[in-house]
Each structure stands twice: as C-alpha cells, then as structure tokens.
Structure 1
C-alpha cells in the first residue's frame, strides 16, 4: 500500500512550500513521492514547483471534491497504473473542504491500494488574527480546514508578536483540540512530523462547496513589461477580497519575467531564467473591476 497525505489550507497559506519541502525530505530518505495537485483556475502555476522526475497529475478549473471527484479518481488511477512511487502527496485548492476531498482517495477503484495517513492543514497565522474580516462563507471554509486537520502548521509565525503567537495557538487548539499544532515559518517541518500521523475520526462537515463561496479566478495578461514600483502600487489598491495572486510578471529591463506570489498584502518576487507566459492569476471574491494598470 502507498501512504497518502492530503495538504489543505486557505489560499496563500503555504501549501506549495510545504509540498516542496516534503518532496525533498522524502527523496533524501529514499522514498519516491508522487503529486496530485488541484487548482481553482485554468492554469496551475504551482506545478512548476514540483521537481523533475516526480510523477505529477493535475485537475484544473475545478475542485478535487464534489463535481471534480470523477476526474480526480481518473488521475489518481492513472498514477497508480503508470508510475512507480511510494507516497502520494495531494495538494488541494485553497477553496476545497479537506474532508470532501477525501472522496477521491477512498474510491472503490483503488482504495485498497492507498493508506491514508492524514490531513495536514497549513494555517496562515496572520489571516487567523483577521479572520473576522473575511466574508462569512470564506471564514467558514477557513475554520473548517483547520477543524478537520490531523496536523496543523500555524504558519507565518514570524509576522506576529510573541503575545499574538500565543493567542493564535490557544484559539486554534480550542477549535481543534485533537490535532497536533506546530508553529512554523515557511511551512518548515521535519518529515517525521507527518510520517507519525494517525488519522482521527472526522467531525460533522459544514458544507461549503466552491460554487457557493463566490470565489473566482481571473487571468490577467501583460501586453508589455511593467515597472516593479508601479506594479506594487497597483497591488496596494486591490480590495481585501483579493486573496491570492500568482504568475509571471515581465519587468522593464529584465530579459525574463519574474515568478510572482502575492497573499495577504505581501508580495514575493523570484527571478526566472527562461521564457514564461506573461500573465498572472488573481483569486478572490468580486473580481469584476480588477484589471492591470
């Protein structure tokens, strides 16, 4: 049987960073990981984070749960039939309910071949502090992702004061008293933390399907390179309902675009050394008026 871990967490919490970290550690231990990724939009920028040689399947523009479960089952079945691996890492979209996503794993087509180890939820600690500013439906999903975890990474702890860190841990522990909580920066944990997981019985699920969350993904394409300062000024004008931006931004004076990540008002730039599509994916609520400057 192949061990399976499901990585959950809201948009921009650090799931992909955790995924990369786990892939590296598993390979160091002689394990062969495979990855199944889910993305809300029509493009998956995060798939570029998966190392060459690691089997990868994706489902785009839909959810691993509910309406996308049949596609998810087909992708996992293909992985099992065609690839040689020891551990399957599933990264859900930030809009997925983790327990609903388990439907694809427990398909009667291959359930006996998989050993589900548990749900690892990456919780953005700073967003937790401001959770009451989220819309009711989004806040409900955010809490559900934490409530059903077997292991919780209270991530981005470096952005909080000591007293705020204590408050976050106490409140999260109160919401999910059975899960282990680890304070993290950049979602860094040892593989042993997930390897020792023992799943717990899942509590009642509060349904929060994507179609009712009002979340949308919008692709914005660049016609020409932009100035970094002006682009960052534009970011500051975006409404709080923009939860996540990722993609490739062409900057004036640079031959290749920069890989760009944005979550909770914070931007990250990384240089690229090859041609990429000059576009970004914006994920959030009420994106009708969001356009490039």
Structure 2
C-alpha cells in the first residue's frame, strides 16, 4: 500500500482555513484527484459539514486533535488507512482547530505505527493579515501568543490571507512581525479569499527520514523516543466555544448588529439561522468584523444554532438582544 500524501492546514481562528480547503477541493475535482478530509472542531457541532457533502470526510468534534483528542486522531488516521485499502485516495487534508499547534500534529503523524502509511508533504498555516498584528495586543495571554508563534514556526508554507482587507502600512507591520518567526525556506503566499496557486501550495516541502531502530544513542545513553503531550490543554487557556441553540429568526441587519456587538474577545462566529420572511435555515460566518450569509437555504439541517469561539467566553458578556441563550 502506497503512503498517502498528506497536508496539515493550520491557522488561528477566522484565518480562512475552510475557504482555502474548499479551493483545494475544487482543484482536486478539476484534476480528478480523490481526497480524504479530516475536520476537527472544538465544539460539539460542525456547522460547515454541508460544504463537504460530496467528499470523504472524517469528523472529530469536542476537542483539539493536537492534545485533548489526540488518540481519536490516531484512530481516525487508522480508519483512513483502512478506507484507502478498499478505495484508494490521492491525498489527505487535515484541518485542525484554530487553536491547534501544528508541531504537535506533525508529531502525531510521525508515530511509528502511522509513519509508513502517510507521507506528510507540507504544513500550511494561514494568517489573517488584517488582524494578525491586532491579535498580538488583544490577546495578552502568553499561551495564546506562543500559539500564534508556533503556527508560524511550525509551517512549511504560509498563506498570508485577506490581503484585500489590509492597508500597505498594516502589511508592512505584519511582515515585520512574521520575519521574527518564519524559518528559512518557508514558502509565503499572499491571498484573498484563500485563492492561491494550488500546485505550488501542494508542493512537497517536508523531508522525512525513517529509522528502523526503536532506540537511539544520545550522549552515550540509549533510550526510547515516545510522543508526549505534557502541557495537556495549556495552549487552550482562554479559548472556549459556546453553542447557542433555540435561536429565533432574524433579519440580516439584526444578525449583523448583534454579531458586531459581541465582546472583542470573540474571534469567530458561525452557524445556521432562520431569516425573517424566508423558508429554511441559512449558514453564516463571522470573522475580522466581516459577515457572510449564504444566499440559499441549507439542506439536511434541523435546528438553528450559533457557535461562538473566543477568549474567556462568559454568558454574562454576551448581549442577549433578539437571541435567547440556552
């Protein structure tokens, strides 16, 4: 069985990972490539599953695959291998949560039991050029600052996204900040709406070495190398999700007003809502103070809900307005 070319998609909340993933899938379809996708969400609901109805998707919910549900990721990767044996896939795309450390995902995929099945090609990190510098000051937590740094240092390819929302002065500040962390040889691509040269994006940028021995000698001591995650949920401090259910209907204007009244610590919002005088549920996304509501109602969705992702979420800080918080 040939190893599956694999890619990790990383990036902070709202940076545009899902949009980039959709662009990659369009390229795959045009070039008759069959992908497998692992989607990870911090919450219990994946409100973007409708975007991948025709794809082979493995969902991991209620935690981050780099630590809290790392074993679930390993089990899912084994399931991908089993499926690959029945119906081969051409590549694997792993979209981590916005608070996943890509270096830890690389460690998981480098486990001896998985190494021969997956050929890790690149770690692609997205950066929201419009908010990257602001996030350095908004988030005073050292843990989150370290995470933002790790998502840059752990990348072999960086997509500097949302450049259309960024002034020349902002861009200069972003590039100055990134220069402190970007490792030599890292490819940097600028994009709007996640539109990049996909063949360049998918170029192999990771060189892997496989050792047969289970032990190695360092400083004249022989020991086994084992994966560890001693920090537990350390890099999740301050980042939480909140799911709001039983949501009444809105006008688009009301939805926009409510989202923009949320505390600054809320980085991302998404979900399904009813729009007044319209049938069905409509998908929306909110990040970088920008709101996108779908034009067409979604199929197969039963209950409206809103998922908020941010720092130190507290129901007391969420404006009720026309929304009932359960």
- Give the alignment's TM-score, normalised by structure 1: 0.91
* Matching residue of 1:285: 311
Question: What residue ranges of structure 2 are gaps of 5+ in the alignment?
Answer: 209-228, 322-326
Deviation of the 1:164 alpha carbon: 2.3
Compare 12-21 and 94-103 and name the one that shifted more.
94-103
Higher helix share: 1
1:45 and 2:47 are equivalent in the alignment:
yes
Question: What residue ranges of structure 1 are gaps of 5+ in the alignment?
Answer: none
Instruction: Give the distance between the partners of 1:59 and 1:140, measured in 2 at CA.
Output: 24
Question: What is the 5 A alignment of 1:117-128?
Answer: 117-128=121-132
Give secondary structure in 2 for the equivalent of 1:62.
coil
Give secondary structure in 1 for the equivalent of 2:306.
strand
* Matching residue of 1:67: 68
Question: What is the 5 A alignment of 1:93-104?
Answer: 93-104=97-108
Deviation of the 1:236 alpha carbon: 2.1
1:228 to 245, 249, 252: 252
1:256 and 2:294 are equivalent in the alignment:
no
Instruction: Give the distance between the partners of 1:63 and 1:210, measured in 2 at CA.
Output: 12
Deviation of the 1:283 alpha carbon: 0.8
Give secondary structure in 1 for the equivalent of 2:93.
strand
Query: Any idea what the Cα deviations from partners look like across 1:90-126, whole Å, max 9, x if unmatched?
Result: 0000011111122332233331011101210000111
* Matching residue of 1:247: 271
1:138 and 2:140 are equivalent in the alignment:
no
Compare 211-220 and 257-266 and name the one that shifted more.
211-220
Compare 27-36 and 271-280 and name the one that shifted more.
271-280
Greater gyration radius? 2
* Change in 2 beyond 3 A, CA 1:291/1:40: farther
Would you identify which runs of 4 or more consecutive aligned residues in structure 1 move more than 4 Å? 205-208
Deviation of the 1:229 alpha carbon: 1.8
Deviation of the 1:86 alpha carbon: 1.2
Deviation of the 1:212 alpha carbon: 4.3
Compare 192-201 and 81-90 and name the one that shifted more.
192-201
1:164 to 167, 170, 173: 170
1:77 and 2:81 are equivalent in the alignment:
no
Compare 177-186 and 283-292 and name the one that shifted more.
283-292
Equivalent residues of 2:124, 2:158 under 8 A apart: yes
Equivalent residues of 2:160, 2:189 under 8 A apart: yes
Instruction: Give the distance between the partners of 1:224 and 1:62, measured in 2 at CA.
Output: 28
Give secondary structure in 1 for the equivalent of 2:294.
strand
1:184 and 2:210 are equivalent in the alignment:
no
Equivalent residues of 2:40, 2:61 under 8 A apart: yes
Deviation of the 1:172 alpha carbon: 1.4
* Matching residue of 2:157: 151
Over the aligned positions, Cα root-mean-square deviation in angstroms equals 2.2
Give secondary structure in 2 for the equivalent of 1:243.
strand
1:269 and 2:270 are equivalent in the alignment:
no
* Change in 2 beyond 3 A, CA 1:272/1:88: same
Instruction: Give the distance between the partners of 1:285 and 1:167, measured in 2 at CA.
Output: 24
Deviation of the 1:195 alpha carbon: 2.6
